Amino acid sequence: HGAAELDEMGAEALPRRTPAPAWLPTAKGEEGDFCLRSSDCAAGLCCARHFWSKICKPVLREGQVCTRHRRKGTHGLEIFQRCQCAEGLACRLQREHGPADASRLHTCQRH
């Protein structure tokens, strides 16, 4: 056995020595991919519940409807979670010009 032969074998064996667990994608998750936490998702996405699993969903942009959690305890029960608003945006009650009880939508707005 020459040294060169050993070298080739070593290089060959390297990538297989530490296989990534099947559930852990090597690339960052794209929209709709399963995830465990937001760091599993690509930039601009967060990990949010969708039915009984969690998938990468887009972070909310200005003007998009957001979920305002009145009580911290309730959002664990949500089946369709939304991401938080993007940097620099806050989830605020949209001021409608209609009747006072108009849909009460919260949207992402600039601070």
User: What is the tens place of the pLDDT at every residue in 12-58?
Assistant: 544 555 555 555 546 799 999 999 999 999 999 999 999 989 999 99
Q: Are 109 and 103 in contact (CB under 8 A)?
A: no
What pTM, to 2 d.p., does this model score?
0.63
Q: Whole-number mean pLDDT of the chain?
A: 78
- Domain annotation for the chain: domains and CATH numbers: 33-110 (2.10.80.10)
* Residue 67: pLDDT band with limits 50, 70, 90: confident
Residue type (1 letter), 92: R
Q: Are 29 and 69 in contact (CB under 8 A)?
A: no
pLDDT of residue 68: 78
